[in-house]
Amino acid sequence: MIANQLVFMSEEGKPVLPAAVDGQILVLGIETSCDETAAAVVARRADGSACLISSVVRAQWEHHRDFGGVVPEIAARAHAECLDEIIRMALSEAGASLADVDGVAAAAGPGLIGGLIVGLVSAKAIAMARQKPLIAVNHLEAHALTVGLTDGLPPPYLMLLVSGGHTQLLLVRDVGVYTRIATTIDDALGEAFDKTAKLLGLPQPGGPAVEECATTGNPTRFALPRPMLGRSEPHFSFAGLKTAVRHRAHEVAPLTNTDVADLCAGFQAAVLASVRDRCARGIDLAEQALGAKLGHFVAAGGVAANRTLRAGLTELAKKKGLAFHAPPLALCGDNAAMIAWAGAERLARGLVDPLDAPVRPRWPLDSEAPKVRGAGVKA
């Protein structure tokens, strides 16, 4: 991770924090890492508890629908066109002004570089003009810390991060301290959902479309693999499952609505079986790494909104003697509330960034984690 530093200096040349750090911290968060333009205002109280004051998210799917996926150039332009308005809306809903906030946080990576630049440059402009601390937030860290905002849950805990671009098990030891336990060796789970939806002619975003279609399907009709089931290593793989869905679809083409529903149900059942098995192994390894019994298991990221997955992971956690946590559905996908909260947590610890902080299209939380054979650059 980038080395963070305090940017405000006393007359004696010593770093100082805003006085509000001793009491309540109010942080403006900005999120533009992919195809949601978002801003939020979050308060962190002196006791470490949280209050989400406002959250505004504007999705872009109408801009990208005809292309079957997010077009980076279109996404960046859409962010630039509406971000100022989104920030004004978030401040208005919070009953606050830029003068009231104690820090400005923006997603600096990982993500699409054009969108990241729009958000981080805007945050830098506000921070410089208003003499506010800047916090360049790792988007993955924001997902990892969301349960502190929603559930008041402090580390340590094990987190399953399942999003469009990442599938990882992370031991969250503390704010800024993470150990990667597992990763995907090919597709992320969100990518697998999106590609399966596209293959079956379902609309994007693919995850919700597959989940909805699966509700009327027969999950046992098609024989589909359970990738990595029973392996001693805890890693994930979804490319083979996606390919198997394609083969089954070709075998029964042309597809009827029933065929599509059954394939979606079978795909989702295979995903759940694989993820539960991998997470069970990951829990064991995380407890070995921690040297203690875990109390909490967390799921975060856009795919964590899948109700079937949430129910299955709840059962797994109970079997393992853990409490299961996942953010409310509205805070599973990309949002600025999690960026603001991660920013508040870092600001409270004096972890702020200089105005030349870079965007990081690739930014692992655990940069020391060993490379996994076969894993891509997002591992």
Q: What is the 3-state secondary structure (H, E, C) of the chain?
A: CCCCCCCCECCCCCECCCHHHHCCEEEEEEECCCCEEEEEEEEECCCCCEEEEEEEEEECHHHHHHHCCCCHHHHHHHHHHHHHHHHHHHHHHHCCCCCCCCEEEEEEECCCHHHHHHHHHHHHHHHHHHCCCEEEEEHHHHHHHHHHHHCCCCCCEEEEEECCCCEEEEEEEECCEEEEEEEECCCCHHHHHHHHHHHCCCCCCHHHHHHHHHCCCCCCCCCCCCCCCCCCCCCECCHHHHHHHHHHHHHHCCCCHHHHHHHHHHHHHHHHHHHHHHHHHHHHHHHHHHCCCCCEEEEECHHHHCHHHHHHHHHHHHHCCCEEECCCHHHCCCCHHHHHHHHHHHHHCCCCECCCCCCCCCCCCCCCCCCCCCCCCCC
* Among the listed residues 121, 24, 41, 36, the one whose alpha carbon sits nearest the alpha carbon of residue 75: 36
Checking if the pLDDT of 171 tops 60, the result is yes
Higher pLDDT, residue 376 or 282: 282
Residue whose tokens read 């990221």: 301
**pLDDT attached to residue 77:** 92
Kindly report the backbone phi and psi dihedral angles of residue 289, in degrees, each rounded to the nearest multiple of 5, phi listed first.
Answer: -65, -35
State whether 264 and 317 are in the same domain: yes
The answer to whether 354 touches 122, Cβ cutoff 8 Å, is no
User: What's the pLDDT band for 15 if we cut at 50, 70, 90?
Assistant: very low
**pLDDT attached to residue 16:** 39
Token pair in block for residue 246: 């394609």
Average pLDDT over residues 15-23: 45
Q: Residue 81: CB partners within 8 Å, gap ≥ 6?
A: none
Q: Which of 17-21, 41-45, 227-231, 367-371 has the lowest mean pLDDT?
A: 17-21
Residue 364, domain member (yes or no): no
Checking if the pLDDT of 306 tops 50, the result is yes
Q: Which residues pair with 329 in a beta bridge?
A: none
Checking if the pLDDT of 4 tops 80, the result is no
User: What's the pLDDT band for 269 if we cut at 50, 70, 90?
Assistant: very high
**pLDDT attached to residue 59:** 83
Residue 12, domain member (yes or no): no
Cα→Cα distances 360→11, 76, 111, 160, 340, Å: 33, 15, 8, 22, 18
Higher pLDDT, residue 7 or 286: 286
Helix axes 336-348, 139-150, angle to 10 degrees: 90
Residue 7, domain member (yes or no): no
Average pLDDT over residues 107-125: 97
State whether 232 and 289 are in the same domain: yes
User: What's the pLDDT band for 374 if we cut at 50, 70, 90?
Assistant: low
| Structural domain containing residue 168 | 157-328
CB atoms within 10 A of CB 24: 15
* Among the listed residues 194, 217, 195, the one whose alpha carbon sits nearest the alpha carbon of residue 207: 194
Q: Which of 65-74, 82-91, 220-229 has the lowest mean pLDDT?
A: 65-74
Residue 24, domain member (yes or no): yes
CB atoms within 10 A of CB 287: 16
State whether 324 and 335 are in the same domain: no
The answer to whether 167 touches 271, Cβ cutoff 8 Å, is no
User: What's the pLDDT band for 165 if we cut at 50, 70, 90?
Assistant: confident
State whether 237 and 292 are in the same domain: yes
**Pairwise CA distance, residues 7 & 78, whole Å:** 31
User: What's the pLDDT band for 34 if we cut at 50, 70, 90?
Assistant: confident
State whether 147 and 161 are in the same domain: no
Average pLDDT over residues 256-276: 98
CATH code: domain of residue 97: 3.30.420.40
User: What's the pLDDT band for 12 if we cut at 50, 70, 90?
Assistant: very low
State whether 202 and 140 are in the same domain: no
State whether 140 and 199 are in the same domain: no
**Pairwise CA distance, residues 17 & 352, whole Å:** 10
Share of the chain above pLDDT 70, in %: 91
**pLDDT attached to residue 375:** 61
The domain tally of the chain equals 2
Average pLDDT over residues 313-338: 97
Mean pLDDT for the chain?
91
Checking if the pLDDT of 11 tops 80, the result is no
State whether 110 and 233 are in the same domain: no
The answer to whether 289 touches 300, Cβ cutoff 8 Å, is no
Residue 97, domain member (yes or no): yes
State whether 145 and 269 are in the same domain: no
User: What's the pLDDT band for 17 if we cut at 50, 70, 90?
Assistant: very low
**pLDDT attached to residue 372:** 81
∠ CA 106-326-108, rounded to 5°: 15
State whether 281 and 342 are in the same domain: no
- Model confidence over 174-219: pLDDT tens digits? 999 999 999 999 999 999 999 999 999 998 889 999 999 999 999 9
Residue 353, domain member (yes or no): no
**Pairwise CA distance, residues 211 & 266, whole Å:** 11
Q: What pTM was estimated for this model as a whole?
A: 0.90
- Model confidence over 287-304: pLDDT tens digits? 999 999 999 999 999 999
Q: Which of 99-103, 189-193, 289-293, 368-372 has the lowest mean pLDDT?
A: 368-372
State whether 230 and 84 are in the same domain: no
- Determine the distance from the C-alpha atom of residue 111 to the mean position of all C-alpha atoms in its chain, rounded to a whole number: 11
Asked whether the bond before 156 is cis by omega within 30 degrees of 0, the reply is yes
State whether 118 and 179 are in the same domain: no
